[in-house]
Structure 1
Amino acid sequence: MFLAIPAMIENISQVFIGVVDTYFVGKLGTEAIAGVGVTNLTMNVYIAFFLALGIGTTAVVSRFIGASDNENANHAVKQSLIMSTVIGLSFGLINLFFSKRLLILLGAEDRVIEYALPYFLAVAVPAVFLCVNMVLSSALRGAGDTKTPMKIAVLANVINVILDYILIFGIFSFNGLGILGAGLATTTSRVISVILLLKKINGKETKIKVSIFNQWRIDYLMLKSIIKISIPAAVERLTMRSGQLIYGGMIIKIGTEAYAAHNIAGTIETFSYLPGMGFGIAAATLVGQNLGRENKDEAQRAGLMSYFLSTVFMVFVGTIFYVYAPLLARIFTEDALVIDQVVKVLRIIALFQPFLCMTLVLTSALQGAGDTKFPMYSSLIGIWGIRVLGVYILCIRLGYGLVGVWIAYAIDITVRGVILMTRYLKGKWKNISI
C-alpha cells in the first residue's frame, strides 16, 4: 500500500495532464484537437520504448537494492541515463527532420498538419526529457521510493495547467501562442520534472546517488543486462499498440456511433486501470528487492498480495461502472444510441476486473523479476491470436457490433490472466539472473 498509493496518484496526474491539454486545446477548434491527437499517436510509439527502458531499470535497480549493493544500483542508473539520452535524442532528431512526412504518413490532412506541426515540434523533438524523466522515476521506484515521482508528477501537472492557460491564450500584453503554447507548456513541465528528479538522486535521503559531475563510462555488460530485460517489454508494448490500431480500424467500419461509444468507454475504463498499474509498480519493486535478498518465497507472496489488494480496488471500481453506467455515459454524450452501447460495454468491463487485474499486476511482477519474455509472448497470443481475430469474427463476420469487440477483449484478458497466474505460481521466474 505504501508503494502503490503514491504510484496510483502519479498515474492519475499523468492522465489529468492529457485531459487538461485536450480541454484547453479544444477551445482552439476541431483541427487543433486532431493535431494533438495525431502527435500523440507518434509519441505513444516512442513511449513504448521509454516505458520498456524504465521496466529494465526498475528490475535491475531493485535487485541490487535488495542485495544492499548500492554501488551497482547507482552504476545501473548511470547506464540507463546514458541509454535514455541516446534514445531520446535519436527520436528527437528523427522528429525534427521528418516531422511533416510523419504526420502525412499518419493520414493527417493539410489543415490538421497546419495545427499539428508546431505542437509536434514543441513536444516530439525534445523527447529526450520525457525519456530521462521516465527512467529516473523508474530508478527511484526500484529503490522503493514512489513518493518522489508522485510529488513531482503532481507539481508538473500544476505547472502544465498554469502554462497552458498563459501560453495558449496569453495574459496581460502577451497575446498567446495558440497550439504551440500547449506544446511548450508540456515540454517545460517535463524539463522541470527532470531537474527535480536529478536533484533528488543527488540528495542525502535517497538510496540512489548519481552525481552528474562524477566520472561516467559506458559499461557494456550492465547495458546488456538492462537491454535484455527492456527489449521484450518494448515488443510487448508495441504489440499492444499495433493491435489496437488494427481493431480500431475495424470499429470505425461499424459506424460513427459505435466508434464514439468505444472511445467513451475506453476513456472511462482508464480509471479502472489506475489501481492495477499502482499495485503493479509495488509488485515489481518488492519482487525485485526480495529476489536481491535471496528471499524467493517472500518475493512470490509480495506479488500475490499486490494482486489481491489491487483486485479489491478494481472490483470496487467495476461495481461503480456496472451500477452507474448510464450516468457515466451521459457525462460524455446525450446521444441515446451511443449511451446504450457505452452502458453495455461498461457492464462487460465491470464483470472482468479480476482478470484485468491479473494481466496488469502479474505482468509487472514478472517484469520486476526480469522475466519480460513470457509477458511478451502472452501479449502476442492475447492481442493478435484472440483480440484482433475475435473482433474480426464477432464484430465484422457475425455482426455483434461493439459488444462483440468488448467480448473479444474480455476473452483476451481472461485467457492472458490465467496464463500469467499459472506462470507466476510455478515460480520459474525466481531463478532468472540479472
Structure 2
Amino acid sequence: MSDKTQKNAAKFTLYALTWPIFIEILLHMLMGNADTLMLSQYDDNAVAAVGVANQIMSIIIVMFGFVATGTTILIAQYLGAKQRKKASHIAVVSIIANCAFGLILSAILFIFGEQILLLMNLPEELLSPSLIYLQLVGGFSFVQSLIMTFGAIVKSHGFTKDAMYVTIGMNIVNVFGNYIFIFGAFGLPVLGVTGVAISTAVSRILGLIVLFIYMYKRLNGELPWSYLTKKFPKEELQQLLKIGVPSAGEQLSYNASQMVVTVFIATMGTAALTTRVYVFNIIMFAMLFSIAIGQGTQILISYLIGKGKVKEAYHRCLKSLWIAMAVSTFGTLVFALFRETLLGIFTDNPEIIKLGGILIIMSIILEPGRAFNLVVINSLRAAGDVKFPVYIGIISMWGVCVTVSYGAGIMLGLGLVGIWLALILDEWIRGVLMLFRWKSRRWESMAFVNKKSASASGHERRALEE
C-alpha cells in the first residue's frame, strides 16, 4: 500500500471513524424518511406497501453483508498486523464475490417477487405497489452489494468520510427524483411508488460509480486484480466466509424474525402496518448513535486486535457501550416528549398518532437494550467471536421475540403494544448475555490474524497472545 494509505490506516480513533459513519447512516435514514414523508403526502397505502417491500430488501442487504462484514474485519486486522498485501487480496476477492452474489439475488427478486410478497400475507390493496417497488429496487440490488463492498474497503482503510460524501450525493438525487415523480414536477406524470423506486435505483447506481472512483483514488489503484487470474482464491474466500457467514447469520435471523412479526402485524390491518413504519422511522434516529458507534468500534477493535492490543480493545468496547446507551436513551426521551408533533408530520390519522405515541414511549426502554447488541455484538465479531451471537440470537429472536409477539400481540389482543413488549424482552435478554460473553474474555484467543498470520515475526505473535 502507499505511504498515504498506511498513514491513514494507522490513525484509527473512535471519533475519527465514527462521526463520518454517523453522518452516513443519518443520511441513509433521511433517504428512507424522505421516501416515507413524501409518499405520505401521496397515499398512506403507498407508505405501507414500500415499508413491507423494504422488509424484504433489508434481508437481502443482510445477505450482502456477510461478505462486507468479513471484508471490514479482515482488512482492519491485517492492516493492524501490517500485512497489507493480504489486505489487498481480501479486497479484490470480496468485490468479485459480492458482485456475483448480488446478481443472483437480483434475478430472484425480479422473477419471484410476487410469490415472496404473497408469503408475507400482504393485504390485497398493497400487493401491486409493493411488487413494483420490489422488482425495480430489488432487480438492481446487485448495485447495493457493490456499494457495501466498496464502502467496507474504504472504511477499513480509515477513509470513512468517502462513504459519507457518496451518501450525501445519493440523498440529493433521491429526494430530487421523488419530488419529480411523486408530485409531477416539470410537467412529468405522477408515478407514486414507481417513481420512488426509480429514484432509489438511479441514486444507487450513481453512488456506486462515485464510490468506485473514491476507492481507486484512495488506494492509488493498488488493487491486485491480476491475483484472481493466478489461482482460485480459496484461502481468501474461506476467511471471508468464516467470519462473514456467522455474522450475517445473526443479522439474517433477526430480519427473518422481524418479517414473521410483520406478518403478524399485517393481520391487524393496514393502519397497524402504517403505524409501525412511522414509529420505526422516528425511533431510528435514536438508534443512529448506537449503530454508528457500533460500526466504528468494530473497525477500531479489529485494528487493535491485529496490533495485539487486546487489553485496549476490551476497554474500548465497554466505553463505547455506555456512550451508546446514554445517547440513545436521551434521544428516545426527547422523541417521547414531542411524539404527537413528530407523528403529525407523517399523518393526520388520530388512531395512528395515538397508538404510535404509546410505542414511542415504550421505546425509551427498548433502545438502551438495542444498544447492547449494536455495540457488543460488533465487538465480538471484530475479535473473531462470531458464532456465539448467532446461537443466542436464534434462541432469543425466535423463542422470545416471535413467540411473545404472537402470544401478546395476537392471542392476548394487545396488538402493536404486545409486539413492542416482545421487542423489549428480546433486545435486553440478548444484550445482557452478549455483555457477559465480552467480559468473559473468551474471544481473546479467536482473532483471525492470530491463527493465520504465518508471516508474522515471533515477537509479533507473542504480542498478539498477550
Q: TM-score, normalised by structure 1?
A: 0.89
Matched residues in 2 for 1:120 and 1:295: separation?
45
| 1:296 maps to amino acid | V
Matched residues in 2 for 1:393 and 1:108: separation?
21
* Runs of at least 5 residues in structure 2 that lack an aligned partner in the other structure: 1-14, 449-466
Matched residues in 2 for 1:333 and 1:164: separation?
18
| 1:422 maps to amino acid | F
Q: How far 1:236 sits from its partner (Å)? A: 1.5
Q: 1:216 aligns with which of 217, 228, 235?
A: 228
- Show the counterpart of 2:405: 391
Matched residues in 2 for 1:72 and 1:402: separation?
49
State the 4+ residue runs in structure 1 displaced beyond 6 angstroms: none
Structure 1 pair 111–81 and aligned structure 2 pair: CA distance change class (3 A): same
Deviation string, structure 1 residues 35-79 (Cα, Å, up to 9, x no partner):
534532432221120122221111111111111222111110111
Contact 2:283 2:332 in 1 (8 A): no
- Show the counterpart of 1:51: 65
- Show the counterpart of 2:148: 134
Determine whether 1:274 maps to 2:281.
no
* Runs of at least 5 residues in structure 1 that lack an aligned partner in the other structure: none
- Show the counterpart of 2:257: 243
Q: 1:323 aligns with which of 334, 337, 345?
A: 337
Secondary structure at the residue paired with 2:285? Answer: helix
Q: How far 1:235 sits from its partner (Å)? A: 2.0
**Greater CA deviation, 161-170 or 138-147?**
161-170
Matched residues in 1 for 2:390 and 2:275: separation?
29
Contact 1:366 1:424 in 2 (8 A): yes
Matched residues in 2 for 1:425 and 1:342: separation?
37
Q: How far 1:111 sits from its partner (Å)? A: 6.7
Determine whether 1:64 maps to 2:82.
no
Determine whether 1:365 maps to 2:379.
yes
Structure 1 pair 335–370 and aligned structure 2 pair: CA distance change class (3 A): same
Equivalent residue pairs, number: 432
Matched residues in 1 for 2:59 and 2:166: separation?
24
Q: How far 1:103 sits from its partner (Å)? A: 4.4
**Greater CA deviation, 23-32 or 136-145?**
23-32
**What RMSD over aligned residues (CA atoms) do the two structures have, in Å?**
2.9
| 1:210 maps to amino acid | L
Structure 1 pair 208–234 and aligned structure 2 pair: CA distance change class (3 A): farther
Contact 2:305 2:313 in 1 (8 A): yes
Determine whether 1:22 maps to 2:29.
no
Contact 1:55 1:368 in 2 (8 A): no
Contact 2:48 2:277 in 1 (8 A): no
Contact 2:123 2:266 in 1 (8 A): no
- Show the counterpart of 2:312: 298
Contact 1:140 1:208 in 2 (8 A): no
Determine whether 1:313 maps to 2:327.
yes
- Show the counterpart of 2:105: 91
Deviation string, structure 1 residues 253-277 (Cα, Å, up to 9, x no partner):
5566655544433332211111010
Deviation string, structure 1 residues 176-234 (Cα, Å, up to 9, x no partner):
7664443332222212222222212222x44994266x553441111111011111222
State how 1:142-291 maps to structure 2 within 5 Å: 142-166=156-180, 172=186, 175=189, 179-203=193-217, 205-206=218-219, 209-210=222-223, 214-217=226-229, 218-253=232-267, 260-291=274-305
- Show the counterpart of 2:424: 410
Structure 1 pair 243–208 and aligned structure 2 pair: CA distance change class (3 A): farther
Structure 1 pair 102–417 and aligned structure 2 pair: CA distance change class (3 A): closer
| 1:268 maps to amino acid | I
Contact 1:143 1:208 in 2 (8 A): no
Q: How far 1:23 sits from its partner (Å)? A: 4.0
Contact 1:66 1:289 in 2 (8 A): yes
Q: How far 1:388 sits from its partner (Å)? A: 1.8
